[in-house]
Structure 1
Amino acid sequence: MSTRQSNGLLAARIIVVVADVMAVIIGLWILMYLLDANRANALVGFVQDSARWLAAWSYDLFTFDKAWARVVAGYGLAAVVYLFIGHAVAGQLRRH
């Protein structure tokens, strides 16, 4: 295996891990929201702030009547996009 190939594999792994961590944070916030976690808790606040920052472009995208549906759709879209793009880019790096 050449150095270029191993660098591409390493970069692909890093991209996949970052995309997965971003999606997990967003998914964790969706779960905490649905389970009505205590927002005064420091961990819940950190997860909420992180998820809001990661999904800033999508968290208020939908206008469902129910708040839980807006959270699931808006944040869930961001998580799926991060997973899709991260894994697609990593797949391309592995092929080259």
Structure 2
Amino acid sequence: MPPPSSSHPGAPYQSPPNGPYPPQNRPAPRRQGFGADRAALIVHSLADIAAAFLGLWILLYLLDANQANAFVDFVRGLADWLAGWSQDIFVMETEGLRVFFNYGLPALVYLAVGHGAAAWLRRL
């Protein structure tokens, strides 16, 4: 327990007028960028979700998932939409390798751009 602020022993403790911390040890005030932090979290999360769906499609394809299944069809449709700009960049004989690179490249791009944009937003 800190010493009392008064000279007599029964007086209750009162913090100094400038707060409980000396000026050099005072915690930094919260910056005003709360909206930027929230926007950064949204961008970061969307990039992660996009990359997760692309990675899930690669995994489902390489494991020969049932193409007639509704979930597999949904993941494939979403992955096709997300990777539409990068389709057939890599043309290879091995179909599994082609799927891996044509869907893996956009996943890496989404992660890099999304995390970079989120870091930039956090600095605002």
Shorter chain as denominator, the TM-score bin is: over 0.9
Residue in structure 1 matched with residue 68 of structure 2 by the alignment: 40
Matches of 1:91 and 1:2, distance apart in 2? 16
Count of aligned pairs: 95
Alignment partner of 1:61 out of 77, 89, 104: 89
Instruction: State the SS of the aligned residue for 1:9.
Output: helix
Q: Which runs of 4+ in 1 moved over 6 A?
A: none
Alignment partner of 2:38 out of 1, 10, 26: 10
Stretches of structure 2 lacking an aligned partner (at least 5 in a row): 1-29
- Give the TM-score taking structure 2 as reference length: 0.74
Larger RCO (CA within 8 A; separation ≥ 6) = 1
Q: CA RMSD in A?
A: 0.9
How far apart are 1:2 and its partner, in Å? Answer: 4.4
Stretches of structure 1 lacking an aligned partner (at least 5 in a row): none
Instruction: State the SS of the aligned residue for 2:86.
Output: coil
Higher helix residue share: 1
- Give the TM-score taking structure 1 as reference length: 0.95
The residue identity in structure 2 corresponding to 1:87 is H
How far apart are 1:57 and its partner, in Å? Answer: 1.0
